[in-house]
Amino acid sequence: MKMYGKYVFSAMCIAALGLSAGAFIKANAAPAIESVAAGQPVDLTYAAEKALPAVVHIKYVQNSKVQTVEVEEDPFSDFFGPFGFFGNPDRGNGGTQKRRVQTPKKEATGSGVIISPDGYIVTNNHVVNGADELTVTLNDNREFSARIIGTDPNTDLALIKVNGKNLPTLPIGDSDNLKVGEWVLAVGNPYNLSSTVTAGIVSAKARSMGGEGTNGPQISSFIQTDAAINPGNSGGALVNVKGELVGINAMLYSQTGSYSGYGFAIPTTIMNKVVDDLKQYGTVQRAVLGIKGGDVLNYINAQKEDNKTVDLGTNEGVYVAEVVEGSSASAAGIVKGDVIVEADGKKITKMAELQELLSKKRPGEQVTLTYFHNKAKKSKTVTLKNAQGNTKVIKTADLDVLGASFRPITEQQKKEYDLGFGLEVTKVGKGAIKDGGIGQGFIMQYANDTPLKSISDLQELVKSVSTSKDPVLIIKGVWPTGKRDYKVVKVSE
């Protein structure tokens, strides 16, 4: 459980199948349930019975590690130390110094949702990020070891998998169809209890919490509910009365760290896209419009505070404060001061709604934007790009010849291991990497003295070596314990 300001993140689960999201929903659709007459009580027992078997308990273990940390030095410590008045010449006079320290073993718990009978489970990124071991316990007390398929910090979602058959699943519903005031259940494992159900209503949709990616998710379009979401519910299920998964419980708003009436869940419309991308590419294909801005009403109110009046032609939509050169927004003719009011024919009243719509798209796909320019309404269809300014697929490579998957190390890993670059081995199967003695978690920095700063560096090197007279890679890197090592990997037989 992590806390960002007043927002406590608690994990949710999602499903990824070889089926398309639509096919999966049809195949697992819940029986039709008659709508409840106005003023009549709602029976939630069917939804609870459907959800409980598919919500799991996740135990996270991060083993003790040796890592480099910066510590403040006492400028006077050497005057009184074993070296006497002159101090230790190898130490500085105050400031910070880097030291290798042993971190303690960490354990935590969260929740997850089984979305396929063969063991795909959706949870929160913060529940599994950095884990060396993951243990999944089902509602019937069966235990499985789990592996991480992929994670997406920007949405705080992760996809993990256990080796199982005929596991209980939760059908995926369409969160777009949720209505404010509709009854929902929050299912999870708060306080290390067995699966627990709480009930409430949908309080709001497309709720933005202001996350910018540094202290929380970048995609801020949450379902707000008053169903109690407590620590340990992270990755649990938000379920409608039909017993369909409509959201992954992500966080609670709290001054104390405990539930106080506001819970937030990631909509399944966002989850479906993330899960499909993680299964297919190993990373999320994120379409970028190329603007900075916010809710138009916030902009108008800010102008009023400065005793300025502004007439944009509308009081709803997304105010554009900046347009990235060469971006999709730029190609649409959007400039600073414009207001986006529709996307693909859907009314846009605030930034969170635009974010949610774009999160369903991949680079190369199109979006039709309607916007006000000098109070005149315009419309244009443009092709979306990725953050690199093109439409190429970004893929976490699974190099068949090596039998393993890799990804560039994160900023956190760079700080933790005091590295400038490297590729982490995220999955190991049968092949050259395993035969060479390299396991999951090993960070490869050099291969044949070539720096491995990106997946393409490794791909080019493997391509070159595999056709040479000496098809061998001498790989130097770092184990999760901080121990430096090198291994010899034979690329082809």
Sort residue 414 into left (φ over 0), alpha (ψ -120 to 50) or beta.
Answer: alpha
* 394 sits in which H/E element: none
Q: Residue 152 catalytic?
A: no
Q: Which residues of 171-182 are buried (b: 16+ CB within 10 A; e: fewer)?
A: bbbbbeebeeee
Cα gap 292→271, rounded to integer Å: 24
Cα gap 60→109, rounded to integer Å: 6
Q: CA 54, 398, 458 angle in degrees (round to 5)?
A: 145
Of 261, 223, 277, 254, nearest to 12 (Cα)?
223
Q: CA 137, 142, 146 angle in degrees (round to 5)?
A: 50
**Given 203, 220, 234, 405, which residue is catalytic?**
234
Residue 159's φ and ψ, nearest 5 degrees, are -120, 125
Q: Residue 156 catalytic?
A: yes
**Given 126, 152, 327, 359, which residue is catalytic?**
126
Sort residue 243 into left (φ over 0), alpha (ψ -120 to 50) or beta.
Answer: left
**Cα–Cα distance list, 167 to 115, 118, 162, 198 (Å):** 9, 6, 10, 23
Give rounded-to-5 percent helix, strand, coil for the chain: 20, 35, 45
- 267 touches 222 (CB < 8 A): yes
Q: Name 199's bridge partners.
A: 185
**Given 78, 152, 156, 277, which residue is catalytic?**
156
Place of tokens 């209503």: 201
| Sign, CA torsion 165/170/174/175 | negative
Of 239, 237, 270, 233, nearest to 254 (Cα)?
233
Q: Residue 126 catalytic?
A: yes
| CA terminus-to-terminus distance, the chain | 47
* 433 sits in which H/E element: helix 432-435
Residue type, 85: F
The residues assigned a catalytic role are 126, 156, 234
